């Protein structure tokens, strides 16, 4: 049997889109013959994903999983929203979210993680692509944990438990009675889904973004012709408004417009018997940042018929 190099496995994987172990087996079965290995994979149905790899995948599902004081959220994309209702696809996204609870690192680390039942997450995704017949990608994931307190979660536009269009995790940190703030964890997660803050607190605001905002507000204020000391006060006032738009604790509480989130947290601290804070959160919306291909309905039908 011919010795199979890592370079050969890599080349076959890039050509076919099949999993690494499948490519290695194909090369072993064909004594390293690349073309024969491609045919071997095609016969096994493992190279089907290659035909679909160039198609835009901007639909799909966001999956959320929480266990104890750790939560994970993943985004798995597909070409059409029909796939989001496919039981096999839903099972895959839910399972990957559970796997992500124990994975540290980037999305490549999650792809390389063991998938329940055998193989890796990446290999199971390749198998799923072959079965369903659409291009799919495990685009990103994030974990959130707290040393004391809880992880609240919320899924917007849910198609199944823990699966939907927007997934949110919120860490509530407290040494008080966690049982008394469980509902607050869900409520703040809903708030984050709706209000889409950029930072948890004013201390976290990116200095570059703040300097840019300050410069714009300063120019706007000076255009009014007011003295410089008045301009400074105008800028500070407008910066407070900016914080109310982008900082979680400074935002108006979606459940009560007369309160800010920081007031809600202060009240929760009294209920829990110890201060409650939000050290971090994750908000992941399906398809954000993915450039979708524009296509008219007739062209979409024609493309479907030609597949």
Q: What are phi and psi of 19, to 5 degrees?
A: -70, 160
Domain ranges of the chain: 6-52, 56-145
Tell me how far apart the alpha carbons of residues 167 and 282 are, in angstroms, rounded to a whole number: 8
Tell me how far apart the alpha carbons of residues 146 and 277 are, in angstroms, rounded to a whole number: 11
What residues contact residue 47 under an 8 Å CB cut-off, 6+ apart? 16, 17, 18, 38, 41
User: What architecture is domain 6-52?
Assistant: Orthogonal Bundle (1.10)
Contact 19, 44 (CB under 8 A): no
Q: What is the pTM of this model?
A: 0.75
User: Tens-of-pLDDT digits for all 307 residues of the chain?
Assistant: 678 888 888 888 777 777 778 888 889 999 998 888 887 887 776 665 444 544 555 799 999 999 999 999 999 999 888 899 999 999 999 999 999 999 999 999 999 999 999 999 999 999 999 888 888 999 999 999 999 999 999 999 999 999 999 999 999 999 999 999 999 999 999 999 999 999 999 999 998 988 888 888 888 888 888 888 888 889 888 999 999 999 999 999 999 999 999 999 999 999 999 999 999 999 999 988 775 544 454 554 455 445 4
Torsion from C-alpha of 122, 128, 134, 140, nearest 10 degrees: -40
Q: Residues of 286-302 as b/e, b for ≥16 C-beta within 10 angstroms?
A: bbeeeeeeeeeeeeeee
Is domain 56-145 given the CATH code 3.90.110.10 in the classification?
A: no
């Amino acid at each position: 049997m011919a010795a199979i190099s890592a370079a050969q496995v890599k080349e076959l994987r890039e050509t076919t889109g099949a999993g690494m172990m499948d490519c290695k087996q194909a090369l072993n079965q064909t004594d390293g013959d690349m073309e024969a290995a491609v045919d071997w994979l095609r016969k096994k149905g493992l190279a089907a994903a290659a035909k679909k790899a160039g198609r835009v995948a901007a639909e799909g599902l966001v999956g959320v999983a929480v266990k104890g004081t750790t939560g994970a959220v993943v985004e798995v994309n597909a070409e059409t929203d029909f796939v989001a209702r496919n039981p096999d696809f839903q099972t895959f996204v839910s399972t990957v979210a559970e796997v992500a609870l124990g994975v540290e690192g980037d999305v490549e680390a999650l792809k390389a993680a063991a998938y329940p039942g055998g193989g890796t997450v990446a290999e199971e995704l390749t198998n799923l692509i072959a079965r369903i017949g659409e291009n799919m990608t495990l685009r990103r994931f994030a974990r959130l944990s707290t040393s004391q307190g809880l992880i609240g979660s919320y899924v917007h536009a849910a198609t199944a438990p823990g699966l939907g269009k927007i997934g949110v995790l919120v860490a509530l940190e407290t040494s008080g009675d966690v049982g008394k703030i469980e509902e607050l964890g869900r409520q703040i997660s809903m708030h984050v889904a709706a209000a889409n803050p950029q930072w948890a607190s004013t201390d976290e605001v990116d200095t570059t973004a703040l300097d840019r905002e300050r410069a714009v507000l300063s120019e706007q204020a000076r255009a009014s012709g007011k003295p410089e000391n008045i301009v400074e006060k105008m800028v500070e006032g407008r910066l407070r408004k900016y914080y109310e738009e982008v900082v979680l604790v400074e935002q108006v509480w979606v459940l009560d417009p007369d309160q800010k989130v920081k007031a809600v947290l202060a009240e929760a601290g009294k209920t829990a018997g110890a201060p409650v804070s939000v050290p971090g959160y994750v908000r992941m919306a399906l398809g954000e940042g993915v450039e979708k291909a524009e296509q008219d309905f007739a062209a979409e039908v024609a493309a479907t018929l030609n597949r």
